[in-house]
Amino acid sequence: MPLKKSRNYLDFVPAINPRNTWSQDGEGRVTIHMVHRGFYAAVAQKFFHAPRVSHIALDEYGSFIWKSIDGSKSVGVLALEFRERFGEDAEPLYERLVKYMQILYNNKFILLTSEEKTKAGGRA
């Protein structure tokens, strides 16, 4: 019985989720503008005066990664670019980057596809 091929997180290709907008300041730092959607968000906005849009400011590292995400580079390629830009300050590189990508994905700021799917033109 063949073993199931495990997936390496570094092979995934992130793309910015078009549901959110973003901007950058004069220093190149990114702010993601997340619109709260759905029934519970509407209730919170109406009765508890919750904001319709949250603004998530990224630090220098997060901003660099965010601006490097283009929908064609894998997480592994982003890691190499990050290391080239920040050198020793990037360490522990892979643990930090994978955790950051998981946070972005869990908050629906990015979408992830497999590298094979991207190379095949969207077909797996």
Indicate the domain borders of the chain: 9-118
Identify the residue whose tokens are 């995934």. Answer: 12
Return the higher-pLDDT residue of 6 and 44.
44
Rg (CA), the chain: 17
Return the higher-pLDDT residue of 73 and 41.
73
9-118: CATH architecture: Alpha-Beta Complex (3.90)
Residue type, 57: A
pLDDT in tens, 86-95: 999 999 999 9
- Please check the confidence at residue 2 and state whether its pLDDT lies above 90: no
